[in-house]
Every structure is written in C-alpha cells, then in structure tokens.
Structure 1
C-alpha cells in the first residue's frame, strides 16, 4: 500500500509589492516544475497596495493595478490575501473606500480567472475584532487569517485562537515555533489551521514587538505617533537572511520535511514584504528550489527578463 505524504504549503510575501517578480517566477514555477521540490506548493501570496488604512504589519508599497494582480494570481490557481492587519482601527475607518473596493474585488476574485481555478478563494489577514465582524457581515466569501501581529506568545491563548471558527488560518508568534510538546496537543483539524512564520529575523527576546506593530498601524492611519525605534541587538543592520537562519525559532526546509509535516503541520509563511525583490528571490530559492537548479532560476529572473526588478 502506497502512503501519500502530505505536502507543505507556502504563503509568500509581496502580492502587490513584488508583482513584477511573480510575473516572471510563476510561469517558471509552472513550466519547469522539475526545478522545484515536489513536496511543496504555493498556497497563497499576501500583501497590500500603498495607501490602505486597514493595512498592518508593514507599510504597503505596491502600486500595481489590483485587477492585474488578481488576473495573474488567478491564472495559477493561487489564493490572494490582503494584509489588513491594522490593530488600531476605529469604527469610522470601516467606511474607507479603497479598502472596501479591494475587498469587493478580491471577494469575487477567481470568477474572473480560468474556470478550472474557480474553487480558489481569496482572504484577508486581520487583527482588529472590529474588522473581523465587519468583513464577516459584508464580505462573507473572503476567508480570514488571524494575524501574527496579535503576538500570541502564550500557548493557551494561541490554542483558544485556533478553536475560533471565524479563522481558516492562525499565525502564532514565531516564539511558539519550537514548542513541539504543546503544539502536538492540538487536534488534527487544529494543526491544519496553524501557519508558522519561518524566517523571522526579530530578536527572540524582544518585548516590544506588539508596540512595533501598533506604531505601523498608526502610520498606516496617517496619525501622529511617537517614533518607535527597535532596541534589539543588531537592529541597525536591518534584515539579514543569514542572521534569520541563526534565530532559534527559524524553520528550515529540513525542519519542514522532517519535523513539522510528520507532526501534521503543513502551512508555512515566509515574511518579506518590506524587503527587496532580491532577498525575496533568495527565499524562493531556499524554500522551494532544488540546489542544482537554483542558478537556472536566478538566470531566468535576472538575465532573461527585460524588467529592471532590482
């Protein structure tokens, strides 16, 4: 009897921010599947255009036409997610025209795509309970993802979040990544909902993470807020993938294959919306591409394209 192994499903950054990169990468991924590991697939790509009041986590910077973004992602049967994880929303913000128009567009989403892909739904990554209720009432066909910006570091609070029917996925704080004994107490259906943040570079001892997200939320609302500077060691150097790999919470491809998937966890989020296309490409190479084909993928992105991505 053949045992079918579960696959790992990636949730990738930069739906709007790195549209030009994905416009080249996705055809390559489809046409040369032999370049990529057969044990993983792309489940979703997340992001937000610039100027979204509901945005959170990072300041949105993509200015690509949302209809073109959806056209591309629908073509490849991938779910699109809006990162509307602002934690500081008030009732007055719910009437924002741009964010509502995006939700309406994403809700009908795959209806404009190929008929074979109509089963793919789009979603929203959300923090605010006010926004959760609003989206459930006004855009019920969008699935909801509980954002890592909630900073759920207490396992019992996280486990309660997993039980909530409103959310299809829950992203815990990265500091729960290696809490294997506790994670293994989740039911199989609960494990299906957990989406681990793999490549976080934030200091594992950070106590200001929630404050950082609140500051970004206020900035997205274009409100005055005190400048919040990260005090973590080596913060001045910014994101370094080589440093993220040293983080005790880092999830490697070996961890995914040999630890998480056998335990029943299959969803993995790659961060990087606030980084450049070059470093995001390195994530795609590390997490998805067989070593013997990484040069070919780099060449296709850097050389064969006429676009100035970098």
Structure 2
C-alpha cells in the first residue's frame, strides 16, 4: 500500500501538543497505522500580515519551533494565504524574517502556503529554497479551473476546494505526476452548499491587514454550533480513513490535509487519533497525552 502523508494544523498554535505526540509517533509505531506519515505541520504566528485562511493564534517562539521541526525532520509550512496583499505589504519584516528562518533549514525543505500571485512571485525570487503550496482559499470549485492550477509549475502542491473531493471519475484521469501534487482537505465542516466561502476568507485577510470591513457572519445551517468533528464526518466532501486506504491511495493520491488551526488542542488530538492511530491504541495515546503535566489541552 502507498503511504498517506498528512499535513497537520497548528505549527505554532499547537506546538506543545506536537512536542508530546511526535516522539510518541516515532517511538511507538506499533500504536499507529503503518501506511501513514507526517508530511508537514503548517501554521503562522499570531498577527502575521501575510496570514490568511484562519487568523493565527500561535505564540510559540519561531526559532524554537523550527529547530524542533528540523530535529525531527518534518517540513514546516507558513500559512501566508492572504488574498488581499498589495506591493507595500511585501516588505513586512516579520513575515520576511520567518521565511528567511525557514529557508535556513539544512536537513528538510520547508514551504509556504500562498493565495496571492503577487506574494508568489516575490517568494520565488526572494526565497527560492522554499517550496510553494496553492491554498484552498482560492475556492476553485470548477474542476477544469482546478486542473489548470495543478498544471502550474510554480506549485509543488495544490489543495482543492473540499467540494471537489468526491469527483472520483475525474480524479482517476490525472497522470501520476499531477496526482502527486494534489493535497486533499479531509475534514472540512463548512456547509457543502455555502456560497460565501470566498467572502469568509477575504474577511480574514482584511483582519490580518488591520483594515476596516464588516465581520463575516456565517449564515450556514447549524453554524451557531461551531466546528463538530461528528458533523464534518457527515459532510459530502469528508474523507475518512477508509476512503484514504480503499479509494485515494489505490488511485495514486498520497497527500491529505487536516484542518483545524482555529480549534482547540483537544480536538486536534482527536484528529490525530482518528486519522493516524489504530483503534486499539487510541486510549493509550490519549492517556499518554492527557497525563503529561506539561500540557494543558482545551
């Protein structure tokens, strides 16, 4: 069976959780599915000008986080998917400093998730050692439109809108070199019929830039309840472990993104248990994490 590479949320937001989980994953592989690996961990510190998708809340020290990632040989990704950037924003010292820090890694290549072509061109010129990921915040819901994105040489990976996940007949038609670039978003909870997804992301981009604008209020059915993994599992675009093992891996797809940067670490742990941990060891892993006195899950 091919290997599924998971791209996990909360590089800075859930650093303390990953400090507990990753050593457990490496030292007790018998607890976890042998067909999965960690492909990357993505995120952004709080208040990054180039941030998008979800506003970052992480306050962990970037140098400490990235040194730890390098120690474990895991790729780090910055979520710089702001869709409203202008030329004057490219000089931001903090975001440039983070990119320079990622590019310094010698044992693993790091990347940046982008929306703006302006930022894309700047990063390619200024930080050529970083790979680039096309963000799902582009909301490319037409399959041919997404296919054109896959064919762009600038990107190593492209994350489709979750509403394309189940277009299996079309996914089967990709050549392998294109399949290798697709990174499916698995656990989206957003209403499948939502017409405002792009507006929601733009509101986040404005907030990151500190610009005025109306707060986006989700009007989707059931949105007042917030994220529920049980609800996400009923979404027509949901990709579960049986789908990964029995459908996507046999088709030649290997990359799967787990969302959740704005969620609590306790819920992120549930994702790690569901997607990576054998059922008979889930309680063992949960206890190892929860009983660690250095970690507060919420």
List aligned pairs for 1:226-265, cutoff 5 A.
226-265=214-253
CA distance in 1, matches of 2:174, 2:122: 29
Q: Does 1:123 align with 2:111?
A: yes
Which secondary structure state, in structure 2, belongs to the residue aligned with residue 219 of structure 1? helix
Per the alignment, residue 269 of structure 2 pairs with 281
1:42: how far off? 0.4
Match of 1:212 in 2: 200
Q: Is the 8 A contact 1:13 1:272 kept in 2?
A: yes
Where does residue 83 of structure 1 map in the other structure?
Answer: 79
Of the candidates 260, 266, 291, which is equivalent to residue 303 of structure 1?
Answer: 291
Give CA-to-partner distance per residue, 1:22-75, whole Å, 9 cap, x none: 011111111111100000000100000011000000011001110111111112
1:45 aligns with 2:41: yes
Is the 1:57–1:85 contact (alpha carbons within 8 Å) kept by the matching residues of 2?
A: yes
Shift of 1:7: 0.6
TM-score, length-scaled by structure 2: 0.99
Task: Report the Cα distance in structure 2 between the residues aligned to 1:231 and 1:173, rounded to whole angstroms.
Answer: 19
Q: Deviations over 1:118-169 (max 9, x none)?
A: 1x20000000000000000000000000000000110001000000010000
Q: Give, in angstroms, the shift of residue 265 of structure 1.
A: 0.6
Distance 1:33 1:71 in 2: 23
Q: Is the 8 A contact 2:264 2:297 kept in 1?
A: no
Counterpart among 96, 100, 123 of residue 96 in structure 2: 100
Cα shift at 1:182: 1.1
Is 1:8 the equivalent of 2:18? no
Q: Select which of 33, 36, 61 maps to 2:32.
A: 36
Deviation (angstroms), 1:227: 1.7
Q: Do residues 190 (structure 1) and 147 (structure 2) align?
A: no
Instruction: Give the alignment partner of residue 63 of structure 1, picking from 55, 59, 66.
Output: 59
Q: Secondary structure of 1:203's match? A: coil
Structure 1: gaps (5+ residues): 112-117
The alignment of Structure 1 onto Structure 2 pairs a total of residues equal to: 298
